[in-house]
Structure 1
Amino acid sequence: MKLSVLDQSPILAGTDPKEALKQTTELAKWTDRLGFHRFWVSEHHSTGSLAGSAPEILATHLAAHTNQIRIGTGGVLLPHYSSYKIAEAFRILETLHPNRIDLGVGRAPGGMPNVNLALNSGQLPSIENYPAQVEELMAYLHGQDPHGMDIHATPKGDTAPPIWMLGSSGTSARLAADLGVSYSFAHFINGRGGIRAMERYQDYFTSSMQQSTPAGNVSVFVVCADTDEHAEYLASSLDMALLQIEQGYQRSHFPTPEEALSHSYTIFEEERIQDNRNRMIVGCAEKVKEEIEQLAEMYHVEEVIINTIITPFEERMKSYELIADAFALSTHSTTMT
């Protein structure tokens, strides 16, 4: 089974956005050495606790600082942009790092509602055009001229980065199937309904110029530590963060376990925290390995993407190391530097 990474460049307590991006770079280098398959970075706008707002730029930086791991976006919010321009940006990336680049796309706003207006000169993006945009993007990436305008996305090349459609519903799954692109379900966003969505994708998949068979994966929050007890301690901060996001609370950083455990929750909040655990896998390496394998089996996929947001940063690094060791991902050295 393949294991991959989704990093949202979280701003941890006691750090700032500059440090968060530095940590993303260190984590990419670390998981490359550990043998993880992909490393995707996200797009969030006007979000105080997440530093990643331009994944295509960050991916360029990360590809230059890693050796084997695939680098990609999780993902570019396509309705805000020109398909032609995105195609050219990723043709540059593919030319610099052939067969190592993924182009994940989504249609979410990527922040508060006003973000839509700020990114589109005061207008709302046309979500209805999203399927056509993806088709247009695929054509440009593969050297075609979809509108007969005598233009091509340059630089041209023999390889093209695969498009991955990111989603958390059956609608996105069916769209990915109809367009013939790869599909990634965000279990860490929606802990229910994903299995049926992936089945829908696999059942209705239609071949395209990109691929002839379906390819899917699932992403989930994971917190791994030496013991179940310590993993629960670390995960308490993520519990609090997810709850506050639901409540519309804006933070400049993610909370610490100490802050989370000292907080007094209402009965309703405790129920929400428990429900959000459907989006997470928490425990020691043996327990985490078992639950990751179960998740992959339920989704009928051979790849799970791990998103770990805990503090301090050293615990994030260790969590990925424990998982890599449990799955014997690599025989490379795992000495932190």
Structure 2
Amino acid sequence: MNITLSVLDQSPLLPNQTPSDALQQTTELAQWAEKLGYARFWVSEHHSTKSLAGSAPEILAAHLAAHTNHIRIGTGGVLLPHYSEYKIAEVFRVLESLYPGRIDLGIGRAPGGMPGVNYALNRGKYPNVQDYPKQVQELIYYLHGEKHPTYQIQATPLGENVPSIWMLGSSGTSAMMAAELGTSYTYAQFINGESGATSMKQYYESFQPSIHQNEPRGSVAIFVICGETEEEAEYLASSLDLALLRVENGQFHDYFPSPEEARQYSYSPFEKKRVQYNRQRMIVGNPEQVKEKIEKLARAYEVGEVIVNTIAVPFEKRMKSYELLARVFNLQ
């Protein structure tokens, strides 16, 4: 089965490291992913989250594009309800002009952090997420050089190339929006481990051609931990198991725990069940096991691209996980 592999990176803070370290690791990882043959490299948007350094993906994307040569660079994604669609269009028209044919604009409508983030980013008001579909529509028109019917303005700089637009989501609602507006769609299984294949099917069946694209295009993003052995992968994954559990319990730490710290944690019976439940959001194993599970996932979603999000401690193991994955899939 021919599968395209890409990367989503959240710039996680590891033990005894700084946000600057996390962003530098993201840069190194983007260069490594390009060398290994991954198709695209996306960075996320999180606010007031100490364990994740990526709060401004459009800036980080510009930095990464400048430090790589050909891999597609994008956002996974810009949280559009917080911003002016006109300004986002101009930012990404600049990026596309600087790096033609390499820029992806992934967008979402989630808050991206604690409840106060919504108010802080919107001058004390709660954003009207009901306007999100209209925002996406106007964003598409701006990116394609169309004039706004009321304001009679265009998003500059103008150019022949248009960034690829991906709507990101973890529900059937977002899938239907992407279908109706005629954008590509990525299901975030690393956020919601349920109903993803059903949502993707709804997207395919309901897709309506737009000024941006004529046919549907889907992908799925999932946590992946690949070790040289199954035992090593399980050991590394214990870090992510504990990190996800802490977030669910409202325990926000400054960094992702090490596997040693995770192994020392005393899980209650309920917490053990939650860890197993969250494994729906992850693929863990040796290279052959991971390859088989990714291929199964792609078949279930009927997609040709899987976006891999790997958080492992130490950083070298994160790099190694992507290397093992590239090798078993024979990426070029």
My pick for the range that moved more, 253-262 or 146-155, is: 146-155
The residue number in structure 2 matching 1:255 is: 257
> Secondary structure at the residue paired with 1:218?
strand
Match of 1:105 among 104, 107, 124: 107
Structure 1 CA distance, aligned partners of 2:248 and 2:148? 41
The residue number in structure 2 matching 1:335 is: none
Structure 1 CA distance, aligned partners of 2:85 and 2:114? 23
Q: Does 1:308 align with 2:300?
A: no
Where structure 1 has 5 or more consecutive residues not aligned to the other structure, the ranges are: 331-337
Structure 2 CA distance, aligned partners of 1:275 and 1:146? 47
Structure 1 CA distance, aligned partners of 2:130 and 2:93? 26
Letter in 2 for 1:98: P
Task: Write out per-residue CA displacement over residues 195-230 of structure 1, whole angstroms, 9 at most, x where no aligned residue.
Answer: 000000000000001100000000000000100000
Task: Write out per-residue CA displacement over residues 152-191 of structure 1, whole angstroms, 9 at most, x where no aligned residue.
Answer: 1110000100210000000000000000000000000111
The residue number in structure 1 matching 2:323 is: 321
Q: 4+ residue runs of structure 1 moved beyond 6 angstroms? A: none
Q: Post-superposition shift, 1:150? A: 2.5
Q: Post-superposition shift, 1:257? A: 0.2
Task: Write out per-residue CA displacement over residues 83-119 of structure 1, whole angstroms, 9 at most, x where no aligned residue.
Answer: 0000000000000001100000000000000000000
The residue number in structure 2 matching 1:152 is: 154
Structure 2 CA distance, aligned partners of 1:70 and 1:247? 36
> Secondary structure at the residue paired with 1:306?
strand
The residue number in structure 1 matching 2:145 is: 143
- RMSD over aligned CA atoms reads 0.6
> Secondary structure at the residue paired with 1:50?
coil
Structure 2 CA distance, aligned partners of 1:82 and 1:305? 28
Structure 1 CA distance, aligned partners of 2:150 and 2:177? 25
Structure 2 CA distance, aligned partners of 1:150 and 1:201? 33
> Secondary structure at the residue paired with 2:299?
helix
Q: Does 1:86 align with 2:88?
A: yes
1:1-337 aligned at under 5 Å gives the runs: 1-330=3-332
Letter in 2 for 1:128: Q
Q: Post-superposition shift, 1:149? A: 2.3
> Secondary structure at the residue paired with 1:183?
strand
Aligned residues: 330
> Secondary structure at the residue paired with 1:4?
strand
Structure 1 CA distance, aligned partners of 2:99 and 2:45? 21
Q: Post-superposition shift, 1:14? A: 1.5
> Secondary structure at the residue paired with 1:125?
coil
Task: Write out per-residue CA displacement over residues 12-36 of structure 1, whole angstroms, 9 at most, x where no aligned residue.
Answer: 1121100000000000000001000
Letter in 1 for 2:104: D
> Secondary structure at the residue paired with 2:27?
helix
> Secondary structure at the residue paired with 2:11?
coil
Where structure 2 has 5 or more consecutive residues not aligned to the other structure, the ranges are: none
Structure 2 CA distance, aligned partners of 1:267 and 1:69? 44
Q: Post-superposition shift, 1:146? A: 2.7
Letter in 2 for 1:302: G
Structure 1 CA distance, aligned partners of 2:277 and 2:107? 28
Letter in 1 for 2:300: M
Structure 1 CA distance, aligned partners of 2:149 and 2:313? 49
Structure 2 CA distance, aligned partners of 1:245 and 1:181? 31
- TM-score scaled by structure 2? 0.99
> Secondary structure at the residue paired with 2:284?
strand
Letter in 1 for 2:208: T
- TM-score scaled by structure 1? 0.97
> Secondary structure at the residue paired with 2:21?
helix
- Report percent identity of matched pairs: 63
Task: Write out per-residue CA displacement over residues 40-74 of structure 1, whole angstroms, 9 at most, x where no aligned residue.
Answer: 00000000100000000000000011111100000
> Secondary structure at the residue paired with 2:77?
strand
Structure 2 CA distance, aligned partners of 1:186 and 1:329? 23
Letter in 1 for 2:22: A
Structure 2 CA distance, aligned partners of 1:30 and 1:231? 20
Letter in 2 for 1:194: G
Letter in 1 for 2:113: G
